[in-house]
Amino acid sequence: MRQRPIRYLVAVFCAFAVGASGSCHVPPAAETRSYYMARNSASDAATLGCYNGDKSGRLSLFFGAPTTVGGSYGATAWGAPDLRLSDIENVVKNFIRGYAYCRNNGGYRLQIGVGTSNSAINSRTGSWLQAHGYAWATSVRALAAWANANYPGIAQVFGAWDPEPSWSTFATADAWMHGYDGRPSRQLMFVNASADGCSVTNANNEPCNNGWNQQRVWHLAWQHDPALPIPQIYTNSGTQARQWKLIDLWATVYAGDGMYFYGTMSQAGACRQVGGCAGTDNTPHEAHDQLLWWLATDSRTTQPSIQTMTDVNWNS
């Protein structure tokens, strides 16, 4: 069981005393933008990469639901043409080319998560999902090797995943993750998960939406080796931060394997694009502060800092 008194105090100080002023925060260049990718031509991707030349840190490029495109594995794109994995690779490569071309500072670097979700997968078989996850890991691995060969010190590529309890059964989501994790030499994965329906008061493996529970959310967001949790912290009320603190607490107490959070994902940018989101438009700093604050309310879950602040937008 974790006991981290000094770090507890540091986190409490940052969260309570100066959190609002930003002194414990990263500078704006490190508040990255993530995207739902509904616009995927080569020039659009390069332009998007160029636009992000003012950023340094982690971000996720989310494609849509896992699917098959002309006999190949791929992803949907919300009405834009479905993309094969090879198409997605080209989008990401052009994004990196644009970023490298426009990078504001030689010290800036991006860690890019190439993501899909557990949307629309309930009708898929377990073997299809595992194969898709495996193929996704293979594609991400190839992209990572390409980036390291051509743009070392500028961009690294990882997996990304948006699993949400309301979007599928746990079994189907887990099948996909097992496929990804089963690929030898797979890349780390940013897990930009939600914990919808999970408890905001108890850490006794309480139920979440759709038959998930705290253990199941933890399993996907942390227990799998590649998983780096960078959860969605959208709600102004702080409920999502509380949910994750309690999932972490459950894992610490009952599984002896507490979580470490690598970042937070907010959606203020997307909310501006859609004309507002009632009660779920945390800014990146608010999301960061909420999670750090709630983790700091218990010495068993506190951590000294959370590095990544990314804010999701629509690229459409």
Partner 1 sequence: MTDDRHTTSPSRSRRPRRGAILTAALVLSAVAASAAASAALSEEAPVPLEDELQAEIDGMVESGVEPDDPKVQMLEESLEQLEEGAVADPPPEPGVDVEALLEEAEAAEAAEGTITPRSGDPGAVASDGSRAAGRPAWESGEIMCEVVPGMLGPEEITRARCVSVPQPDGTSRYVAIGADGIVRTVAFGHDGHVQRLPDTAVGAPVAPDAAVAPTPEGDVVVTPPGQAPRPVDLG
Taking CB under 8 A as the criterion, which residues in 197-256 touch partner 1?
225-228
User: Quick one: which H or E segment has residue 37?
Assistant: strand 31-37
> Should residue 295 be labelled a site residue for partner 1 when binding is judged by CB under 8 A?
no
The residue among 213 and 267 lying less far from partner 1, judged by its C-beta, is 267
Q: Which of 71, 81, 75, 79 is nearest to 63 (CA)?
A: 75
> Should residue 5 be labelled a site residue for partner 1 when binding is judged by CB under 8 A?
no
Q: Which of 127, 166, 204, 237 binds partner 1 (CB under 8 A)?
A: 166
The residue among 97 and 219 lying less far from partner 1, judged by its C-beta, is 97
CB burial class (10 A; 0-12, 13-18, 19+) of residue 50? middle
The residue among 185 and 201 lying less far from partner 1, judged by its C-beta, is 185
**Part in contact with partner 1 (CB under 8 A); list of ranges 171-179, 198-206, 238-246, 272-280:** 272-280
Per-residue burial over 70-79, b if 16 or more Cβ lie within 10 Å, else e, is eeebbbbbee
Q: Is 272 helix (H, G, I), strand (E, B) or coil?
A: helix
Q: Is 73 helix (H, G, I), strand (E, B) or coil?
A: strand
The least distance separating partner 1 from the CB of residue 135, rounded to whole angstroms, comes to: 17
> What distance in Å separates the CA atoms of residue 258 and residue 248, rounded to the nearest whole number?
5
Amino acid at 122: N
> What distance in Å separates the CA atoms of residue 256 and residue 295, rounded to the nearest whole number?
16
The residue among 201 and 275 lying less far from partner 1, judged by its C-beta, is 275
Q: Is 35 helix (H, G, I), strand (E, B) or coil?
A: strand
How many residues line the site for partner 1 (CB under 8 A)? 91
Q: Are 197 and 212 in contact (CB under 8 A)?
A: yes
Q: Write down the residue that tokens 């991006």 correspond to.
A: 110
Q: Which of 176, 218, 250, 262 binds partner 1 (CB under 8 A)?
A: 262
**Part in contact with partner 1 (CB under 8 A); list of ranges 31-39, 132-140, 169-177, 200-208:** 31-39
User: Quick one: which H or E segment has residue 189?
Assistant: strand 189-191
> Should residue 12 be labelled a site residue for partner 1 when binding is judged by CB under 8 A?
no
The least distance separating partner 1 from the CB of residue 300, rounded to whole angstroms, comes to: 10
Which of the residues 42 through 71 are near partner 1 (CB under 8 A)?
A: 42-44, 46-47, 50, 56-57, 64-65, 67
The least distance separating partner 1 from the CB of residue 192, rounded to whole angstroms, comes to: 10
Positive or negative, the CA dihedral 35, 41, 45, 48 is: negative
Q: Is 283 helix (H, G, I), strand (E, B) or coil?
A: coil
The residue among 201 and 297 lying less far from partner 1, judged by its C-beta, is 297
Which of the residues 83 through 142 are near partner 1 (CB under 8 A)?
A: 86, 89-90, 93-94, 97-98, 100-101, 105, 107-109, 111, 117, 119-120
The residue among 81 and 182 lying less far from partner 1, judged by its C-beta, is 81
The residue among 131 and 146 lying less far from partner 1, judged by its C-beta, is 146
Q: Which of 73, 136, 151, 250 binds partner 1 (CB under 8 A)?
A: 151
- Residue 163: alpha-carbon gap to chain centroid: 9
The residue among 2 and 205 lying less far from partner 1, judged by its C-beta, is 2
> What distance in Å separates the CA atoms of residue 69 and residue 71, rounded to the nearest whole number?
5
